[in-house]
């Protein structure tokens, strides 16, 4: 018995040493990866050594991150971990919930009261400083609120609608708040949010566009105005990367293309280039396929259309606006899009110099409350 027991220990020890050896050998012959498509982020690289960093603990901390990020077959083991957790009933990871029908939804935490008040004051100041442009505001709810019936039981999520109403009730009278929650809630059984990403779908953007037209005074086009084309059914978005839940069906992306041709040119100021399309079809070959809409986020871009009404629209936005803007090209001669995360100029001066007729502030709730770049709106 004793001899058999020792043999068992030797076998286990040899297997462990073999595993360690294989991992070390694989790590040596495998080049370090710079970017993880699965996690949609840059991976840690070999940290530079210095005695100062070593004494402060920075080198060892960064080296630990490096070995974790560059671990052989990392994506494979993340998948195994995800599957095991699902079998054990785990429904949350990295503030992402695994909901019903394969929906991934990001947790919403209530904003700091002082920070919220500061943002509202800043927007109101912007309104008062720009009396000659019509001002509109959409604060789009996320799927975690509209589709809250798909959340796991007892998921600890704060109420987005409460804070949407709080913003609405404290805005300057010069800003028209466009409430889209009721519209979205009535359409919650339709495909208005991606399952693996935090954005609304093209259909969701279409419903927001219709509501926008009713408030801004233009007649929105109906479904029959567009050819609706599915351009991919394998989109795995930000929540798929962040939540690390696997074995989930990918999303489809649809483009609403006007049946009657609309000529547009898009000028990307930060990249100093001009495109004749609102869509970057090359993005469909990449991980972040949502950048098919206007090639992602940019500090400033300008869209010229063949609409002859001479009306000019400025959109101060996050990425939710990217899939909405194609619907607006049939109503404005010029559309400017500014992302305050990357734009650092005087907005009021920009509005005056470009004779902006309408200004739309468009954010999703989570980004609005978590990103402080909106404070630059009154610079």
At 41, give phi and psi (nearest 5°): -155, 160
CA distance 365 to 367: 6
Query: Which of residues 97, 129, 156 is at a domain's end?
Result: 97
Model confidence at 246, pLDDT cuts 50, 70, 90, reads: confident
- Residue-range definition of the domain harbouring residue 86: 2-97
Regarding whether 127 and 212 lie in a shared domain, the answer is yes
Tell me: do 65 and 157 sit in the same domain. Answer: no
Q: Are 75 and 36 in contact (CB under 8 A)?
A: yes
The answer to whether residues 278 and 138 belong to one domain is yes
Whether residues 61 and 162 share a domain: the answer is: no
Q: How many domains does the chain have?
A: 2
Q: Is residue 297 classed as helix, strand or coil in its secondary structure?
A: coil
Percent of the chain with pLDDT over 90: 72
Look up the pTM and report it: 0.81
Distance CA(279)–CA(263), nearest Å, equals 13
DSSP lists the bridge partners of residue 191 as: none
List, for residues 111-125, the tens digit of each pLDDT value. Answer: 999 999 999 999 999
Average pLDDT over residues 72-77: 54
In this predicted model, what pLDDT tens digit does every residue of 266-323 receive, in sequence order?
999 999 999 999 999 999 999 899 999 999 999 999 999 999 899 999 999 999 999 9
- Is residue 378 very low, low, confident or very high in pLDDT (cuts 50, 70, 90)? confident
Q: Judge if 171 and 47 occupy the same domain.
A: no
Give me Rg for the CA atoms of the chain. 25
Residues 153 and 81 grouped into a single domain: no
Confidence of residue 247 (pLDDT cuts 50, 70, 90): confident
Q: Tell me the pLDDT band of 8, cut-offs 50, 70 and 90.
A: low
- Map tokens 């940290």 to a residue: 47
Asked if residue 220 and residue 169 are part of one domain, the reply reads: yes
Residues 120 and 244 in one domain: yes
Q: Is the dihedral of CA 254, 256, 259, 265 positive or negative?
A: negative
- In the predicted model, what is the mean pLDDT of the chain? 87
Residue 84: is its pLDDT beyond 60? no
Shared-domain flag, residues 276 and 343? yes
Same domain, 309 and 364: yes
- Residue bearing the bigger pLDDT, 100 or 4: 100
| Residues 63, 116 within the same domain | no
Mean pLDDT for 350-361 is 98
Q: How confident is the model at residue 68 (pLDDT cuts 50, 70, 90)?
A: low
Same domain, 203 and 319: yes
Last residue of a domain, one of 54, 81, 97: 97
| pLDDT tens digits for range 179-235 | 999 999 999 999 999 999 999 999 999 999 999 999 999 999 999 999 999 999 999
Contact between residue 129 and residue 348 where contact means Cβ atoms under 8 Å apart: yes
Q: Which of 39, 66, 97 is the last residue of a domain?
A: 97
């Amino acid at each position: 018995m004793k001899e058999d027991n020792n043999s068992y220990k030797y076998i286990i020890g040899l297997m462990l040493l073999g595993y360690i050896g294989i991992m070390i050998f694989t790590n040596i012959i495998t080049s370090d990866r710079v970017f993880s498509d699965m996690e949609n982020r840059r991976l840690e690289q070999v940290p530079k050594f210095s005695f100062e960093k070593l004494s402060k603990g920075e080198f060892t901390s960064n080296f630990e991150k490096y070995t974790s990020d560059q671990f052989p077959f990392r994506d494979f083991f993340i998948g195994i971990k995800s599957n095991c957790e699902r079998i054990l009933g785990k429904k949350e990871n990295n503030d992402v919930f695994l909901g019903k029908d394969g929906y991934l939804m990001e947790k919403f935490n209530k904003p700091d009261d002082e920070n919220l008040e500061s943002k509202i004051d800043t927007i109101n100041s912007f309104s008062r400083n720009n009396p000659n442009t019509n001002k509109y505001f959409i604060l789009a709810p996320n799927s975690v609120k509209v589709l809250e019936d798909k959340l796991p039981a007892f998921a600890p999520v704060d109420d987005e609608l409460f804070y949407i109403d709080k913003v609405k009730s404290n805005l300057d009278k010069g800003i028209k708040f466009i409430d889209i929650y009721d519209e979205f809630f009535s359409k919650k059984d339709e495909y208005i949010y991606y399952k693996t990403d935090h954005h609304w779908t093209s259909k969701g953007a279409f419903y927001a566009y219709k509501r926008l037209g009713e408030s801004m005074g233009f007649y929105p086009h109906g479904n029959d105005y567009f050819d609706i084309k599915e351009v991919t059914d394998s989109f795995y978005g930000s929540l798929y990367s962040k939540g690390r839940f696997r074995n989930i069906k990918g999303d489809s992306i649809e483009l609403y293309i006007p049946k009657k041709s609309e000529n547009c040119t898009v000028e990307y100021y930060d990249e100093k280039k001009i495109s004749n399309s609102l869509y970057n079809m090359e993005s469909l070959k990449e991980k972040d396929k949502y950048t098919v809409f206007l090639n992602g986020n940019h500090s400033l871009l300008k869209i010229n259309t063949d609409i002859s009404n001479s009306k000019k629209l400025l959109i101060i936005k996050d990425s939710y606006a990217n899939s909405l803007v194609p619907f607006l090209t049939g109503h404005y001669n010029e559309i400017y899009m500014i992302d305050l995360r990357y734009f650092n100029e005087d907005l009021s001066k920009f509005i005056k110099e470009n004779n902006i007729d309408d200004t739309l502030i468009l954010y999703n709730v989570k980004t609005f409350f978590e990103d402080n770049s909106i404070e630059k709106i009154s610079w």
